[in-house]
Amino acid sequence: MRAADTGGAPHAMARAVHSGMNGTETVPGLNVGDGPRARIRTARRMLLTIAVIYGLWLVLLYVVQDSMLFPRSLAGARLSSAAVPTWVERVFIVAPTGERVEGWYVRADEEGGHAAPGAAVLFAHGNAELIDDQLELVRRYRERGVHVLLMEYRGYGDSQGRPSQVGIVRDGVAFYDWLASRPEVDREKIVLHGRSLGSGVVSQIAAKRKAAALVLESPFASVASFAWRSGAPSFLIKHPFRTDRVVATLRCPIVILHSRHDEIVPFSHGEKLHALAPGSRLIEMAGGHNDVMMNQAGYWRAVDEVLEEIGWSVGE
What tens digit of pLDDT does each residue of 179-214 get? 999 999 999 999 999 999 999 999 999 999 999 999
Please write the tens of the pLDDT for every residue from 136-177. Answer: 999 999 999 999 999 999 999 999 999 999 999 999 999 999
Residue 113 confidence class, pLDDT cut points 50, 70, 90: low
Instruction: Give the global pTM.
Output: 0.84
Instruction: Measure the CA dihedral 175/178/181/183, to 10°.
Output: -100
Domain spans of the chain, in order of start = 72-309
- pLDDT beyond 70 at 316: no
Please write the tens of the pLDDT for every residue from 226-238. Answer: 887 777 888 889 9
Mean pLDDT of 285-313: 93
| Phi, psi (deg, nearest 5) at residue 151 | -95, 130
CA distances (Å), origin 250, targets 26, 158, 207: 77, 33, 8
CATH superfamily to which 72-309 belongs = Alpha/Beta hydrolase fold, catalytic domain (3.40.50.1820)
Q: What is the CB neighbour count within 10 angstroms for residue 92?
A: 14
Q: Whole-angstrom Cα distance, residue 162 to residue 179? A: 23
Please write the tens of the pLDDT for every residue from 24-42. Answer: 455 455 455 568 888 888 8
Residue 114 DSSP label: P
